[in-house]
Amino acid sequence: MIVLIPIMFIGGYVQRVLRQLTVVLTLALLASYVVSTTVIPLLSQYLLKRAGEFNLLERVISRLNHLFLNPLQDFFVGLFHTASRTPRVLWIPPAIILLLISVRVVMPLAGRDLMPPMDTGIIKISFETQPNLSLNQVEAIVSRMEGIIRKTPGYIRMATMVGSEPGVISFGAERTPQQGLMTVHFVDRFHRRETIWEIEEHLRREFSRIPGLKYVHVYDFGATPFSSIAAPVDVMISGPDARVLDRLAGEVKARLLKVRGLTTVSRSWDLEKREVWVILDLERLKHYGLTPLAVSEALRAAFSGAVAGILRVPGEDGYTLRVRSSSHLPVLPHPGDHHGGHSPFAHRGHLGAPHHGQALLHAGHDGDDFSGGDRGQQLHHSY
């Protein structure tokens, strides 16, 4: 009780999680103390009888005691006497054998049941659409997913993030415009009929009917020291040839889909992303007075926007102002063009459209990992 009582009033996360347990244990100890000092002494004079005064039920229990408990007691007593009289060296091999058995059987089970599943009403949804979809198409899929979530009984609120901020260099945690994460809150378990795992299974079935979704992971977020009780299986394949890796990854995914207990299986990258290469004609660029750098800056301003300035806010970081070319322009203007910046792009080069991985992973000479690819736009919904 000296240890349990302070936990009730210590405050913070420990009090929030363990207070109910400590209150129950303290009440149980108090009740046990009161019973042991008052009730048991009063009843002992009626319960304790001489050996010849047993009734029929007590005689049956006594006979069972002699048949089962006494032989077990004699076995352990004899084992103790044998061990005390035998040299200790002879007990080392059996002890080593028992240790090896415990390491092989008991250790893999250690900790599995220490953190039971907790229905906190919070669900995380990680998803990815087809890599060649535009941001508007991705937003339409996200809106459909949000509509399914809102119709789920017990829904309270959710927050959705798709893509990443433009110009942000990531060390492995950023998302492409086709990848997103949702955090959904439901009412507590006492005010809904379905468990959080039944809701997850329902959402998986509904999301599987949405065209354009490449994969979707639905998992619960537990209020335990671990972020989730999920047990992910992570398989990494390395090699110099991307096409061979893509084929091997498909085979591994097909095998993992046959494993019982796995809810969803996804790949970190594949060769489905369509990439547009701009192949410039240097002679024509020279004729128009342009450089490859000027063309690349104009294309970047047209698609991603160019930084035009910063909106200063007192006491806060400034907001970056980006200027983007209108999508209705018949001809993309180029500053410095001798023909007034209105010559068609076909006069300066042509396009190529190979396929590559949707996220480029590169290990630098210094061991730093950089992630890039088709990034630079973000959707953020919160309800």
Which amino acid, residue 365?
Answer: H
Nearest Cα neighbor of 149 from 161, 163, 136, 159 is: 159
pLDDT value, residue 345 = 60
pLDDT value, residue 123 = 92
pLDDT value, residue 363 = 39
- Phi, psi angle pair for 96, to nearest 5°: -65, -40
Average pLDDT over residues 329-345: 56
3-state secondary structure of 290: coil
CATH number of 122-256: 3.30.70.1430
> DSSP assignment, residue 89?
G
Return the bridge partners of 175, or none. none
**What pLDDT, in 10s, does the model give residues 275-326?**
778 888 888 777 777 788 887 877 777 777 778 888 888 887 788 888 877 6
Nearest Cα neighbor of 120 from 226, 9, 206, 22 is: 226
Asked if pLDDT for residue 166 goes beyond 80, the answer is no
The answer to whether residues 194 and 153 touch, using CB atoms and an 8 Å cutoff, is: yes
What residue ranges do the domains of the chain occupy?
A: 4-109, 122-256, 276-353
Nearest Cα neighbor of 270 from 340, 357, 180, 210 is: 357
Rounded distance, CA 354 to CA 375, Å? 18
Tokens of 85: 């009289």
**What pLDDT, in 10s, does the model give residues 52-95?**
667 788 788 888 888 888 899 999 998 888 888 888 788 888 88
Rounded distance, CA 148 to CA 152, Å? 7
Average pLDDT over residues 250-274: 84
Mean pLDDT (the chain) is: 78
pLDDT value, residue 378 = 53
- Phi, psi angle pair for 74, to nearest 5°: -65, -35
pLDDT value, residue 100 = 85
> DSSP assignment, residue 48?
-
pLDDT value, residue 360 = 45
Helix (H) or strand (E) run with residue 349 in it: strand 349-352
**What pLDDT, in 10s, does the model give residues 102-135?**
777 765 555 554 556 778 889 999 999 988 888 8
Higher per-residue confidence, 333 vs 272: 272
Angle formed by the axes of helices 135-150 and 196-207, to 10°? 140
Which residues, other chains included, contact 329 with Cβ-Cβ below 8 Å and sequence gap of 6+?
A: none
For the chain, first and last CA: distance in Å?
45
Which residues, other chains included, contact 197 with Cβ-Cβ below 8 Å and sequence gap of 6+?
A: 117, 119, 220
Domain 276-353 has what CATH class?
alpha beta
pLDDT value, residue 375 = 43
Rounded distance, CA 25 to CA 46, Å? 30
pLDDT value, residue 243 = 87
**What pLDDT, in 10s, does the model give residues 183-233?**
999 998 888 999 998 999 999 999 999 999 988 999 888 655 454 445 578
Rounded distance, CA 148 to CA 126, Å? 15
Rounded distance, CA 298 to CA 335, Å? 8
- CA angle 46–48–49, rounded 5-degree value: 95
Q: What CA–CA distances, in Å, run from 1 to 4, 8, 24, 29, 186?
A: 5, 11, 11, 8, 36
The answer to whether residues 180 and 377 touch, using CB atoms and an 8 Å cutoff, is: no
pLDDT value, residue 371 = 36
